[in-house]
Amino acid sequence: MAKMIPMNMVSPPPDLAAISALQSKLVSALRPILPEHALLWEPEDTIPYECDGLAAYKRMPLAVALPETEEQVAQILKVCFAMKIPVVPRGSGTGLSGGAMPISQGLVLSLAKLKKILSIDPFTRTAVVQPGVRNLAISEAASHLGLYYAPDPSSQIACSIGGNVNENSGGVHCLKYGLTLHNVLRVRGILMNGELVEFGSLAPDSPGLDMLAIVIGSEGMLAVVTEVTVKLVAKPKMARVIMASFDDIEKGGNAVAAIIAAGIIPAGLEMMDQATTRAVEEFVNAGYDLEAVAILLCESDGTPEEVAEEIERMTKVLEQSGASGIQISKDETERLKFWSGRKNAFPAAGRIAADYYCMDGTIPRRHIATLLKRIKAMEKKYSLGCLNVFHAGDGNMHPLILFNGGDPDEWHRAEEFGTEILETCVELGGTITGEHGVGIEKINSMCVQFGKEEIESFWGVKAAFDPEKLLNPDKGIPTLSRCAEYGRMRISGGQLPHPELERF
Amino acid sequence: MSSSNTDPKIDAFRAQILHAAKNKTPLSIEGGGTKSWYGNTNTYSKLDTRAYSGILEYQPEELVITACAGTPLKEIEAALKDKNQVLAFEPPHFGEHATFGGAIAAGLAGPGRISAGNFRDFVLGTRILDGKGQDLSFGGKVMKNVAGYDVSRLMPGSMGTLGLLLEASLKVLPKPAGTATLRCQISQEKALHILNEWAGQPLPLSASCWIGNPNEEGQLTIRLAGAIAAIKAAIPLMSASVNASEVDPQSAEIFWNNLREHQLSCFGNLAADQTLYRLALPAACGPLTIPGASNEIVLEWHGQQRWIKAPGDEATFTLIKQLISSHGGHATRFKQGANVNSAFERFTLLSEQVHSKALEAVQARLRSAFDPAGVFATKRLP
């Protein structure tokens, strides 16, 4: 795809000899710190690290370090700090915004080997874990105590808690149980200069400004996470889900608002459009109503008495909102069946199209129908299909744009399609990213959501933690010159969001 | 994005900020003045936020309210009550004229904090004027938003030392369908134990308060909130294990409100040489013995927030800080008796805590990024 890039946009060819010299210097500086197997620099070893879950953007790093202790993390950072080599922290590499994409003249710092659950305390309902521990592994380890870790991103089987902290990950249950921010008490980390710090504490608050709040969701740009203390909550005794069909998108959107307005906070409130239900039904045979324009999944959890009361209230609201069909899960098997389509929306998209591009905007709930109609029009404009799945309860939507990556023009259109969706989210009073992060992918859209002064302030925050701007410096926050360039590109039209990057 | 609409009131704030920046004289931000005794004292000139008042947007089905900093807190709570919604973390007013902005700057939370979360958990977005007079907006009005650093959530508890808050959007929640309050006599140790056990079970436990003498039985009051059926099922279960009885709803409401507002008798009668200390502690911390403390103590948040009255001198505070830090918490001089030196530092410093020394430099740089001239450098929060 490199041939598509207009010549005037290509950065000067990298000086290979200089890069190779820098690589040798870095490798010899890191060797004394790390065991042999924990430092990779040959291309065949580092190629698995060239991208994260957003495979469209890739770059090769100078080297990859896989420390096994917190002390090694600190020493690696001290070396890079002294050599002024940028560092890209990486968890499981499941991120969807390119936040862990390497920097050509930088180091990838993988925390994957720090994967011990250090302690679980049922009395204080807390677990202390290393950053490489998988999200789901925490809940599994606490399960016998009747406890679990609430945030459940779709990738929870693979994604790491360190990555969750950096992205402030959500999931299908965060309307009721909160995001990572609401479920983490303390983060231990290393600053770029190698200093150990703790953000937050086991107490309900800490002295000074609330820095834990700004570190969570900071996309690996402020500190490298080496230990996380999470809150565990009591496992609900049971859960039931209502599956409601709607013959009109407007009615479905209004039903979401009506449930909230009735004073109910469902454990999960998800919406799928017709294109999605048709795609997933073929895949999972969950018995979805294929005639429905939209399907709502509305879950209640708690004690049996609580669930019975809430299901009754929710059913009433859904009926009043004009649902054309309502099914309530009879048992756990049926509940999981109803959910199976929603949980498999991504693989189903992968089945009906060669590639899909997952977006992550958030809008006020009342605009759900408006946005869906606008996306419908964009499908025509870009001649590409789109499946819409929503965390409807919190207005966070994941349109999956279907395209064929083998066709450069289709990928180009998919990117433009995605950018237009995000800009529509901002226009409707929402945001360009609800839970996937800005990373490298949405860095231009940041220029649309924020003004020059806010972006300057973000750089001020960055510099407070990392004055040399060495920690994941090309992610999350655009430079002002980048925004100016993007503004010009938008006027001239038709340019790729990232002409400097190699694609596929 | 920066708001383009100009408001003469905001222009006046900006003029005051730019004037202060030029003269290198900090401004002490104030709303209704109901918490003026909280935090380190200063004699700088005031910036009064009350002119900028009003609810800007409130749509109950969005669970979000946006209001100006100078809006009376009671006006916000009345608007929410009208739609059967609440600020679930129950910020204390400490006076009739408490403002929205003042409550955010203080960052304090009431009895519901232990189950609902703290103030910053509910902040979705803010609009501020920084020390250069720049009009900045962070976050937004939606539940999930990870675009840019979450600067908004730095505002609760920042005590006006980071910037001038103009507006904020908060997440609100429906009022629980039902509530019930239970009360029993129990020792501090047993209370701490049973509260933590309950908190790990699927029970609708929403708040707790133990009041008594450290070595005797005291009064434990607990609040249940949630689905009516869940409360009905929990009452016999929880009552039986501690021999508790139900408090009538009206007295219960008065009790929880008095606790939130520090109107219970145990918060009164602060002797002239005493300080009311606030202790923030991990759940694991058992009963503590504080030298020189008055007999009656108050435990909230299942023991994670404790109130004690003890001598206000430096030596006592040093001892308390050491003891609380050794348990992984921190202590605050919350309220001072008439004869306690008002110049004393009220907070535990970052440098006094393990592993937060490096944060001191980060925090200083963070403040100067928003406020290079030190317009908000009142040291009200160190």
According to the model, what pLDDT value does residue B160 have?
97
Domain count for chain B: 3
Instruction: Note whether residue B216 is domain-resident.
Output: yes
Q: Is the pLDDT of residue B304 over 80?
A: yes
B positions 118-157 inside 8 Å of A (CB): 118, 120-121, 130, 134-138, 140-151, 153-154, 156-157
Which residue does chain B place closest to A221, by CA atoms? B149
**Alpha carbon distance A90, A246 (integer Å):** 42
SS3 B264: coil
Q: Supply the DSSP symbol for B83.
A: T
Could you count the other beta carbons within 10 Å of the beta carbon of residue A59?
20
B98 and B214 together in one domain: no
Of A213, A395, A460, the CB nearest to B154: A213
The predicted-structure confidence for B190-247, as pLDDT tens digits, reads as follows 999 999 999 999 999 999 999 999 999 999 999 999 999 999 999 999 999 999 999 9
CATH code of the domain containing B112: 3.30.465.10
Q: Does B14 touch chain A (CB under 8 A)?
A: no
B81 and B184 together in one domain: no
Q: Tokens standing for A383?
A: 């001649």
Q: What is the CA radius of gyration of chain B?
A: 21
Q: Does A473 touch chain B (CB under 8 A)?
A: no
B92 and B127 together in one domain: yes
Sheet of B64-68: strand order equals: B55-59, B64-68, B164-171, B123-129, B135-139
Q: Is the pLDDT of residue B29 over 80?
A: yes
CATH code of the domain containing B187: 3.30.70.610
Instruction: Note whether residue B361 is domain-resident.
Output: no
B164 and B250 together in one domain: no
ipTM of the complex: 0.97
Best to test chain B binding among A306, A435, A459 (most B CBs inside 10 Å): A306
Domain that holds residue B126: 8-174
Instruction: Note whether residue B326 is domain-resident.
Output: yes
Which residue does chain A place closest to B119, by CA atoms? A205
Instruction: Note whether residue B363 is domain-resident.
Output: no
- Cβ distance of B348 and A168 shorter than 8 Å: no
**Alpha carbon distance B307, B296 (integer Å):** 9
- Cβ distance of B147 and A433 shorter than 8 Å: yes
Mean pLDDT, range A471-498, rounded to an integer: 80
Mean pLDDT rounded to a whole number for chain A? 92
B28 and B168 together in one domain: yes
Residue A234 Cα, gap to closest chain B Cα (Å):
5
Comparing A9-18, A125-134, B76-85, B189-198, the range with the smallest average pLDDT is A9-18
What are the DSSP calls for A463-502, one per residue? HHH-TT--BSTTSSS--HHHHHHHHHHHHH----S-TTS-
Query: What is the percent of chain B where pLDDT is above 90?
Result: 96
B31 and B134 together in one domain: yes
Best CA proximity match to B260, nearest among B73, B83, B120: B73
B275 and B256 together in one domain: no
- Cβ distance of B328 and A126 shorter than 8 Å: no
The predicted-structure confidence for A135-184, as pLDDT tens digits, reads as follows 999 999 999 999 999 999 988 999 999 999 999 999 888 999 999 999 99
Confidence of residue A342 (pLDDT cuts 50, 70, 90): confident
Q: Is the pLDDT of residue B8 over 60?
A: yes
Residue B141 Cα, gap to closest chain A Cα (Å):
7
User: B353 to chain A: which residues are within 8 Å by CB?
Assistant: 206-207
Q: Tokens standing for B137?
A: 């907006």
**Final residue before a domain boundary, out of B224, B244, B260:** B260
- Cβ distance of B144 and A435 shorter than 8 Å: yes
- Cβ distance of B147 and A438 shorter than 8 Å: yes
Q: Does B326 touch chain A (CB under 8 A)?
A: no
The residue assigned the tokens 């324009």 is: A293
B12 and B135 together in one domain: yes
**Alpha carbon distance B46, B145 (integer Å):** 34
Query: What is the percent of chain B where pLDDT is above 70?
Result: 99
Instruction: Note whether residue B373 is domain-resident.
Output: no
Of A236, A366, A391, the CB nearest to B202: A236
pLDDT higher at A282 or B308: B308
**Alpha carbon distance B364, A379 (integer Å):** 49
Instruction: Note whether residue B299 is domain-resident.
Output: yes
**Final residue before a domain boundary, out of B260, B282, B315:** B260
The predicted-structure confidence for A97-119, as pLDDT tens digits, reads as follows 999 999 999 999 999 999 999 99
According to the model, what pLDDT value does residue A488 have?
80
Judge contact between A301 and A177, C-beta under 8 A: no
The predicted-structure confidence for A372-388, as pLDDT tens digits, reads as follows 999 999 999 999 999 99
Comparing B155-159, B207-211, B290-294, the range with the smallest average pLDDT is B290-294
Q: Is the pLDDT of residue A14 over 80?
A: no
Confidence of residue B5 (pLDDT cuts 50, 70, 90): low
> Residue ranges of the alpha helices (H) in chain B?
8-23, 73-82, 100-106, 113-116, 188-199, 228-242, 249-260, 314-326, 357-370
Instruction: Note whether residue B273 is domain-resident.
Output: yes
- Cβ distance of B330 and A206 shorter than 8 Å: yes
The predicted-structure confidence for A18-74, as pLDDT tens digits, reads as follows 999 999 999 999 999 999 999 999 999 999 999 999 988 999 999 999 999 999 999
Amino acid (1-letter code) at residue B359 = L
The residue assigned the tokens 């938003």 is: B145
B153 and B209 together in one domain: no
B49 and B104 together in one domain: yes
Of A123, A305, A396, the CB nearest to B284: A123
User: B136 to chain A: which residues are within 8 Å by CB?
Assistant: 453-454, 457
**Final residue before a domain boundary, out of B260, B290, B323:** B260
Instruction: Note whether residue B1 is domain-resident.
Output: no
B230 and B95 together in one domain: no
B26 and B93 together in one domain: yes
Q: Does B90 touch chain A (CB under 8 A)?
A: no
- Cβ distance of A198 and B365 shorter than 8 Å: no
Q: Is the pLDDT of residue B165 over 50?
A: yes
- Cβ distance of B61 and A366 shorter than 8 Å: yes
